[in-house]
Structure 1
Amino acid sequence: MMDTEAGGSLSDRLARAITMAGPVPISQFMAAANNHYYATRDPLGATGDFVTAPEISQMFGELVGLWATDLWDRAGRPDAAWVELGPGRGTLSADALRAAGKAGWTPPVHLVEISPVLRAAQAEQVPQASWHDTVDTLPDDRSLVVVANEFFDALPIRQLVRRGDAWHERLVACQDTLFLPVAGPPVPAEVVPEPLRDAPAGSVLEVSPSSVAVVRSLAARIARQGGTLLAIDYGYEGPALGETLQAVRGHSFANPFERVGDQDLSAHVDFTTLAAAGQVSGLVAWGPVEQAEWLVRLGIDSRSAALARAHPDRADSLVTDRQRLVNGMGALFKVLGLTAPNWPTPAGFA
């Protein structure tokens, strides 16, 4: 583990730690950078670095809330809690819970968030919430309806690179305060999925043990207590080769090894691995399906039309928002559902 507690900027502290102790895995570098980034700012909106679907339109959160309420209703209306992982400003939960309340469900609210800046923003939107640093302290006496929108993409990844006839872990070195990726020691072939082990030299494989750990922890609880996990993010169905680690600053892509802690680091999500992590604990996997298909099945066009009738002055902006959610983000973003084995089929997946 790196010691980055001494004075100076995060970049300076990381540079000293790596210079003294040697290169570190990409996962440690990404974790340190993102922990600092999210703890020190609100990154969302026009003045931030990026915009998420709930910030584009209330329709997104409302449809998620109605999706959850419908599933809870058909599961027999059990005692259940609403949980959101990495809730941003709390916009999705606020919109979802408003819609759920109108449909007859007013659950207790639990938010998993470590950033003090974002917790303050969430408290304004969802003042009735309880906060958690990890999923380990979530209630164990009721079903859990868990939503994770653009959460898994920010969790640390490992990168493995093929050199010669072996796979090596990619590390981050520091040279004159410049961070750069380098190949580390070889790793056992067994850590690479069998179909990819003989990939050409230069191939990169990304894995996220942190994501698997979160899903498995939640899945064990959901299998015992009932409930569901809904994951929405940009990603793919793996296993697959390719380097997707990226940085975003001021709504533009940037070099992930520069301005450490002052820009968002993320990587595309392997939905096949997330689904498998849930299935190991006995959950049923649904999807993934494209966000566009999922939102259309849930009725985004009807909701957009209803809002336009109620607010004719917003008709044009509603069309634009719908296009961004369905056409702009709709193919890259995927939706995965995981449900307890005795829960019904969730809407939007068939």
Structure 2
Amino acid sequence: MERLDHYMARAVAAYYAGREPFGAGGDFTTAPEISQAFGECLGLWCAVTWEAMGRPDPVLLVELGPGRGTLMADALRAVREVAPGFAAALRLHLVETSPRLRALQAERLPEATWHDGIGTLPPGPALILANEFLDALPIRQFIRRGGAWAERFVADGGFVEAPAEAPPSLPADAPEGAIAEHSEASHAVVAALARRVVTQGGAALFLDYGPAEAVLGESLQAMAAHGHADPLAPAGTVDLTAHVLFGPLAATARAAGVGVHGPLPMGLFLQRLGIMTLAALQARRAPRLAGHILSGAERLVAPEAMGRLFKVLCLCHPRLPPPQGFEAT
């Protein structure tokens, strides 16, 4: 019998070590693969935030879980063209545990320094991007039985329940059979980055899918070949993720004293950053690809596509003004 978060951590590590997850030939497609304007917007957001920080030189530019390096390659191309001062000041650091993905990232980002975790990042002000990073961190699941919470474990390819001490954040009045999820790993990452931003300066931007507030319900899911699969398939054969509960994570960050902005719907955030204008410029430069370029950007902002389900949460030094995209919240 194995606790679900332990199983998920093992399965996710095996998956990224041995499979090609991204794109049409993989299991899923992420925002940077859908539109290059996504990475360009985030790169320019970092440049604007760097200006608000007082233009520190050097400044760390960090990405957590960089995939194939697509987002960061697009971001750097934009800042080198539009914000050369920021491009000269930044030092690129990538947090990635998969040797296979590191090799792919190195082809696009040879100037980067790699880390297995955030604990080895050098000190100093930092701008940190995390796109679809938190959703892959392991979760625990609890189910309400007889007026108390029991925990779900994995055994013999299925779920079993056993008594366990649940996190105090779970509601005591949940109905019988209700399922609650909690990601200790996500809270640890957010708390550590919040403390870093408070003490050393900078900002961290999380983009992921999930509700703005804590909700009951099961969200653990698996993807294979762009379709749904069994989450308890043999470890490493499918992509495992769960919804990010942004409200509790924001509360964890506030407890560390950091400035918290959002969560906002991703579509609204990207529209405020001008993604459709960027996409239109790209379409004019490549008229044969115009339909593809515009439809990709629209997919990221449309509420019925990714624009509402995906959220954006920003942590920044408490003395910084509201970051670009969050001014009206």
TM-score range, shorter chain: over 0.9
Specify the alignment match of 1:101 in structure 2: 80
Please identify, of 179-188 and 292-301, the stretch whose mean Cα deviation from structure 2 is larger: 179-188
Residues 261-276 of structure 1: matches in 2 within 5 Å? Answer: 261-276=236-251
CA shift, 1:182, in A, is 1.2
* Rounded Cα–Cα distance in structure 2 between residues aligned with 1:192 and 1:252: 35
The aligned runs of 1:65-104 (5 Å cut-off) are 65-79=43-57, 80-102=59-81, 103-104=83-84
Matched, 1:334 2:311: yes
Name structure 1 gaps, 5 residues minimum.
1-22
In structure 1, the residue matched to 2:112 is 129
**Separation in structure 2 between the aligned mates of residue 192 and residue 332 of structure 1, nearest angstrom:** 27
1: CA distance between counterparts of 2:164 and 2:101? 39
- Structure 1 runs (4+) deviating above 6 angstroms are none
Q: CA deviation at 1:126?
A: 0.8
Deviation at 1:301, TM superposition (A): 1.7
1:279 and 2:254 correspond: yes
Q: Is the 8 A contact 1:89 1:121 kept in 2?
A: yes
What is the aligned-residue RMSD (CA, Å)? 1.1
- Of 27, 31, 40, the residue aligned with 2:18 is 40
> Is the contact made by 1:25 and 1:171 (CA closer than 8 Å) also made in structure 2?
yes
Q: TM-score, normalised by structure 2?
A: 0.95
Residue pair 1:143, 1:222 contacting (<8 A) in 2 also:
yes
Alpha-carbon separation, structure 2, partners of 1:133 and 1:229: 18
* Amino acid in structure 2 at the alignment position of 1:163: R
**Whole-Å separation in 2 of the counterparts to 1:266 and 1:144:** 27
Question: Following TM superposition, by how much is the alpha carbon of 1:154 offset from its aligned partner in structure 2, in angstroms?
Answer: 0.2
Q: Is the 8 A contact 2:214 2:246 kept in 1?
A: no
Which region of structure 1 is more displaced relative to structure 2, 68-77 or 306-315?
306-315
- Structure 2 gap ranges (5+): none
Q: Percent identity?
A: 50
1:20 match: none
Give deviations 1:2-30, integer Å, cap 9, x for gaps. Answer: xxxxxxxxxxxxxxxxxxxxx11110110
- Residue 226 of structure 1: how far off its partner (Å): 0.3
* 1-structure distance, mates of 2:290, 2:23: 22
> Aligned runs of 1:1-350 on 2, under 5 Å?
23-79=1-57, 80-102=59-81, 103-104=83-84, 105-106=86-87, 107-140=90-123, 142-174=124-156, 179-187=157-165, 191-193=167-169, 196-327=171-302, 328-349=305-326, 350=328
Which whole-Å CA distance do the structure 2 matches of 1:237 and 1:197 have between them?
21
| TM-score computed with the length of structure 1 as normaliser | 0.89
The count of residues paired between Structure 1 and Structure 2 equals 320
Distance, in Å, in 1 between the alignment partners of 2:189 and 2:238 is: 24
**Partner secondary structure for residue 341 of structure 1:** coil
Instruction: Report the secondary structure of 1:108's partner residue.
Output: strand
Which region of structure 1 is more displaced relative to structure 2, 302-311 or 262-271?
302-311
